[in-house]
Homo-oligomer: A and B are copies of this chain.
Amino acid sequence: MIYRFQVFVFFLLLGACSEKSNVANKEQVKEELQLPSWNEGATRSSILDFVKKTTTDGSADFVPVEDRIAVFDNDGTLWAEQPFYFQVAYALDYVKKEAPNHPDWAKDPVLKAAIEGDIQGVLGAGEKGLIEIVMKSHAGMTEDQFEDAVSSWIATAKHPQTGKAYNEMIYQPMLELLDYLRAHDYKTFIVSGGGIDFMRVWAEKAYGIPPYQVVGSSIKASYEVVDGEPQLMKIPELNFIDDKAGKPVGIHQHIGKKPILAVGNSDGDFQMLEYTTKQEGARLGIILHHTDSVREYAYDSLSPIGNLKRGLIEGPSRGWIIIDMAKDWSAIYPN
């Protein structure tokens, strides 16, 4: 601190104005943030080049601060998603925990499977089964009750394979990219197929992304005053599915500006990357390819979760960067 202060005074004595020395200091911070967990190579340098050209005054590709919008998928892009979406793990744990208060649940085959920990039995019922579990664990309660349920789950639940807390299975290189973009005055948003309220509970702490910069799927809600107390009730009816062609719609409705940078990992993100990169001006699409069976998971076109096929085929000719996790990342999770 003392050294920095001396450097600062030195700049002043040299006659530089305070604004210039602030800029110098900011540049230094930016350099320190240059993606340390990304291995040197084309992927890392393409990202750095894009950020540089869009944020350097006088560059042909300069983008004004108010248009620097970056959108990130969540499941499989900012945190892991195998062997099944972590939000499903929350839903299953919730149903199991609450079952003693709802004896009628045991009569329903999907809920019964969830209560007995028979994950295949739940997943075997397909989308309908999943929606049933989600509605039981996300609706019929106030926003505060839901927040409490997710908070206590994320603080205690462990991933069945790694034994880590779920919010420890976030990707260190992506945290660095988020920080790096924000240091260059980008606004960072999540645009995920996952539940908007589920993510908002822990995303600010995990990623530095506040609730109003989280876009996701949602159920309906209603406002009621019960015994004089206002309540926001979450009701068991789908409101919006923020996936595939829904992602550009979610961006339009929540952000109201076209992004210039989009990051995803599955074909559920294809339209978001297409919408972002087909606009005029400097634009970048990035796909995280899960290629690391040792440190994380290796999957793409055959996986039921995070299926990635079209993005791999068409991405390169569209100028999208494909991150090879095994090759491009020197770390996966934060220490």
Contact = CB atoms under 8 A, between A and B. Distances in A.
A162 interface: no
A307 to B, nearest CB: 19
A138 interface: no
A230 B200 contact: no
A172 B65 CA distance: 26
Interface string A139-156: 000010000000000000
A200 B66 CA distance: 13
Interface stretch (A4-12, A87-95, A322-330): A4-12
Given A212-B213, A222-B245, A245-B223, A252 B5 contact: no
A28 interface: no
A18 B6 CA distance: 10
Contacts of A214: 256
A248 B223 contact: yes
Q: Which of A197, A249, A256 has its CB near the most chain B CB atoms (within 10 A)?
A: A256
Interface in A207-222: 210-214, 218, 221-222
Nearest to A253: B218
Interface in A1-33: 1, 5, 8-9, 12, 17-18
Interface residues of A, number: 45
Contacts of A40: none
Interface in A229-269: 229-230, 232, 239, 245-249, 252-257
Given A255-B211, A256-B197, A249 B222 contact: yes
A274 interface: yes
Contacts of A252: 143, 221, 232
Interface centre among A8, A214, A252 (most CB of B within 10 A): A252
Interface in A175-233: 187, 189, 196-197, 200, 204, 210-214, 218, 221-223, 225, 228-230, 232
A212 to B, nearest CB: 5
19 contacts: A66-B204, A196-B256, A197-B256, A211-B255, A211-B257, A212-B212, A212-B254, A212-B256, A218-B253, A221-B252, A222-B245, A223-B245, A228-B278, A229-B278, A230-B271, A230-B275, A230-B278, A232-B249, A239-B253
Given A5-B18, A230-B271, 14 more contacts: A5-B17, A8-B18, A143-B252, A196-B253, A211-B255, A211-B257, A212-B256, A221-B249, A221-B253, A223-B271, A223-B275, A230-B275, A230-B278, A232-B252
